Structure 1
Amino acid sequence: MIIGKFQLPEVTMNVLPAGEASLAKNESTEMKVLNVGDPIIFEWKLQEQHGIFGIRLDRCSAETEDGKGVKIIENGCSLDDELISDAQSSQDFSRIYANSLAFKFPEDHLVFIRCEVRTCVKRMEHLEVIDGEEEDLCSMDQGCGVLPSRNRRQLNSSSRTDIIFVNGRFRVEKHRGFEHLRTPSKGIPDASFCMPDVIYYVGLGTVILCYLITISTTIVYKFGF
């Protein structure tokens, strides 16, 4: 049984290049310029180790500087598996990780990641939850893919007082190609993600090549060359 009042711990967020070496050095990519599709790691961590409490990721959104964006994580679970993975905790619950790929918005190359993290109580022998729920205990299992569990946590999160707001950001390389010629379609929000430029150029080249082949075939058929 744990009784008492505790001050919320300080939690920070880092955007790291993918790889164990970067985790060991803890080199943030905030000031580095990334390319669309570069593998990165989001890391949330307690600034000071705590014997009783750990942290658990609730939700995150990717936004532009003026606040437009989309939600990418809910209850620690990815809402887009191709964009970001489910959150994973370290053994002592002092750190949380999620793998991702660098992305950007059409007209904004600085991406802000805004998250809500909450505290959890580490499991101990003879620990009994009196005024709380089982989900207040730290667990390696986020319950991703189990809809009833995720809904229950979502209903309870609105009244919690242990939510910690933490932000991170990264910058993506600006490419000046045919992007300035594109116009957004009606009904599609501006806060959409950009595909890698190579895919766009390959697709455009394929369309032009098919057009030239069609013209050549028509001329040969008509004039008998």
Structure 2
Amino acid sequence: MLIIAELYGVKVLDCTAETHDRRGMGIIRDGCSTDATLISDVRYADNHQRAFADATAFKFPDLNDVWFRCAVKLCIRKFEHLILTGKSLEDLCGNTTKCGSTPPRQRRRISTLPDDDSIIEVTGRVGVEDDSTLYNYAAQVSTSDKPTTICMSKDIMALGSAVSATV
């Protein structure tokens, strides 16, 4: 018997770094960084059920919160499963990235993602609660009402300075 978790993985399409009122910039497009000084290209776990990107800590001037908003898509993990799902080759989780030449950093674009049930919006907030003490990180999937929150000291955040998009 095939377990659903063995069938599907995730693919990161686009991510933006935004203010609370959705002003911001695109930081990942088609799984590739738009600015390598801010964030790395997306990497995946072997089973394609987790996606990661390393980032330099940053924030918008005069604001304490940065919202990370990513569109992720379900993908089929194995070629043999395409027949079971009726999907096409473009729905396979890719083992290689097409990242190479990094385009210049651009402002956030209006979402032009296709109307697809397999696309999920994931949102996370990184904020400075008290400039000298704590950074706060909260993440949620767009269908969830209760975000998960983690607090860490500024020193630990500076050492880690990595943001992981995990689904």
**Superposed counterparts of 1:30-49, under 5 Å:** none
**What secondary structure, in the 3-state scheme, does the structure 1 residue paired with 2:98 have?**
coil
TM-score for the superposition, normalised by structure 2: 0.62
Q: Which has the larger radius of gyration?
A: 1
Q: Deviations for 1:150-191, whole angstroms, at most 9, x for unmatched residues?
A: xxxxxx942432110111111247769xxxxxxxxxxxxxxx
- Of the three residues 114, 119, 144, the one matched with 1:163 is 119
**Superposed counterparts of 1:62-101, under 5 Å:** 62-101=17-56
TM-score for the superposition, normalised by structure 1: 0.47
2:47 maps to 1:103: no
Q: Deviations for 1:123-149, whole angstroms, at most 9, x for unmatched residues?
A: 1448559854322001121311379xx
1:111/1:126 CA distance change after superposition, 3 Å: closer
**Superposed counterparts of 1:69-218, under 5 Å:** 69-125=24-80, 127-128=82-83, 132-145=87-100, 157-172=113-128
CA distance in structure 1 between the partners assigned to 2:80 and 2:119 by the alignment: 26
Structure 1: tracts of 5 or more residues without a match:
1-48, 148-155, 177-225
1:157/1:140 CA distance change after superposition, 3 Å: farther
CA distance in structure 1 between the partners assigned to 2:59 and 2:65 by the alignment: 7
> Runs in 1 of length 4+ with deviation above 6 angstroms?
173-176
Q: Is the 8 A contact 1:75 1:142 kept in 2?
A: no
Give the root-mean-square deviation of aligned CA atoms. Answer: 3.0
Q: Deviations for 1:45-85, whole angstroms, at most 9, x for unmatched residues?
A: xxxx8010001101010001111110100111000011000
Relative to its length, the structure with more strand (as a share) is 2
Q: Give the percent of matched residue pairs that are identical in Structure 1 and Structure 2.
A: 38
Q: Is the 8 A contact 1:102 1:172 kept in 2?
A: no
Paired residues in the alignment total: 121
**What secondary structure, in the 3-state scheme, does the structure 1 residue paired with 2:53 have?**
strand
Shift of 1:120: 0.2
1:102/1:79 CA distance change after superposition, 3 Å: same
1:160/1:146 CA distance change after superposition, 3 Å: farther
**What secondary structure, in the 3-state scheme, does the structure 2 residue paired with 1:99 have?**
coil
Aligned to 1:55: 10
